[in-house]
Amino acid sequence: MTRIGGVLLYRVRDLGREVVTLVGDDPVAVGDAFKGFRNTLKRVLRIDEEPMMNIAGFHEERKWRLVIFPRRKHRPGAFFREGKLGSWSALG
């Protein structure tokens, strides 16, 4: 956990992928922390364009949360796999 200008940043790595969560009372501060995270990710990845990520936002009891899932690919490898899809094959 790290504090960035009144916003807590949590980083989880043992879920099969990295997840970053920003939590704060002030939506502007959470937005600023997100912009800082995004810019840092661009520098780390050495890219000029916006880094790929999925984001979910939540507001509950005066707390604002952004859950960020950084991505390396536009589509996962399974998206392009051909053949039967295991348990999903029964649906199609």
How confident is the model over 60-75, as pLDDT tens digits?
999 999 999 988 766 6
- The pLDDT value recorded for residue 1 is 79
SS3 at position 85: coil
CB atoms within 10 A of CB 22: 24
Residue 92 is predicted with a pLDDT of 43
Structure tokens at 20: 């970053």
Percent of the chain with pLDDT over 90: 52
pLDDT computed for residue 8 by the predictor: 94
For the chain, domain boundaries: 2-76
Closest by CA to 17, choosing from 62, 81, 67, 57, is 67
Question: 62 exposed, middle or buried (CB, 10 Å; 0-12, 13-18, 19+)?
Answer: exposed
Tokens representing residue 51 in the block: 């880094």
Please name which of 60, 4, 14, 59 lies closest in space to residue 35, comparing C-alpha atoms: 4
- 2-76: which CATH topology? Phosphorylase Kinase; domain 1 (3.30.200)
Beta bridge partner(s), residue 55: 68
